[in-house]
Amino acid sequence: MLDIKFIRDNRDLIESAARKKHLPFDVGALLEADKKRLDLLSKVETLRAEQNKTSEKVAGTNDPAVRETFINQMRTLKEDLKRKEDELKPVLQEWQKLMLSVPNVPDMSVPEGKDENENLEIRTHGKKPQFSFTPKDHVELLESLDMADFERGTKTAGFRGYFLKNEGALLSFAIWQYTINHLVKKGYSPMIVPSLVTREVLLGSGYLPQGEEDLYKTQDGSYLAGTGEVSTMAYYMGETLLKKDLPKKFLSFSSCFRREAGAHGKDVKGAVRVHEFFKVEQVILCEASHETSVILHEELTKNSEEILQGLGLAYRVTLICGGDLGLGQVKKYDLEAWVPSQGKYRETHSASYFHDFQTRRLNIRYRDDDGKLKFAHSLNNTAIATPRVLVALIEQYQNKDGSITVPEALRLYMGKDVIQKN
């Protein structure tokens, strides 16, 4: 959410942001609703003030006739106030709805483009593996080595269900531990965070109202989050921090859930696009400085690149175009690992910063050196997500005999160098 004063003063900028993000947002409708809201609020406040004054007059007189006159005035004022408050309610609801749909302003470096096909590759790292044989896909490799069971997963959990087992489970544990150890050494505070969250928290972090179709909702009105970012952002919801304690750097582990409502027919087999998965997420709260956000955004991206490099995976970094940015994102990088069986890179990480878009919604502030309260800035980035990263890892490390070489960085946790048939 943006500051309404900023929106009033920068209508052209908001219209430009909506165009760049290819979002059908009507700034004029918001400003008109804002004008009605302010007009009605003024009238309501005036009537309340008159009501309070008249109430004092009633209490301050002993003359029955004068008292009756004031009481009649109170009755009229109360009726007028009720009418104006009833008139204000739908206007306020419309204003709030529009405010939640205002797109954040993308950074000048964000390229033009309408969708993911126009994202910009900015660098690659590592050599794509060259095989003397036709590489198998991850489904065949996992099943042949008894590392996963997709058939029983579907029987148990429904479409896109899966079991990871034996070395498939151990490999996931190893990747999590490797990632956590790497980032804890860099000063990130590890947390296991809730997957079950309230609607308020999803609204605050920007996943509602636009992303509701992709969320699982319980019969109690709570939701299952698609990333640990959501609950981590809510940790300081409604609180005021000290500037000296910024930045706050978190490393949050959680199970995650996505309906993949818009992915019909996409990646229907295997571990790329599943309904339930696990993530280790980097989340940062920092001072309200664009320069600081930019520096930390690069840090988050570098952290994830170091993890992929440590795992020895070939990958690339793409700069996300305007049309592929989320509502609240100022800038975003995707990291995409090479998947040999598909002959293309697939996303494994996303690094974004938001300025105060999320923290304004969640009311997370800090007191600056001059004593003024300011909304913090927020950033996040996937540290690792499983089972998706397994797709690239086992395919890049497969051998002709169907075995999988364990990346050197994981051998300490796995206790073996190669995964092969027993």
The residues carrying an active-site annotation are 258, 273, 347, 350, 388
Would you say 392 and 271 are in contact if contact means Cβ atoms under 8 Å apart?
no
Which of the 8 DSSP states describes residue 331? E
Would you say 313 and 336 are in contact if contact means Cβ atoms under 8 Å apart?
no
Report the C-alpha gap between 122 and 182 in whole angstroms: 25
Looking only at the bridges linking them, the beta strands covering 331-339 and 344-355 are antiparallel
b vs e for 202-225, b when ≥16 Cβ sit within 10 Å of the residue's Cβ? bebbbbbeebeeebbeeeeebbbb
Q: Which residue has the tokens 């003359």?
A: 63
Would you say 376 and 361 are in contact if contact means Cβ atoms under 8 Å apart?
no
And the tokens for 360?
Answer: 């304004």
Would you say 392 and 376 are in contact if contact means Cβ atoms under 8 Å apart?
no
Angle between helix 388-396 and helix 167-184 axes, rounded to 10 deg: 100
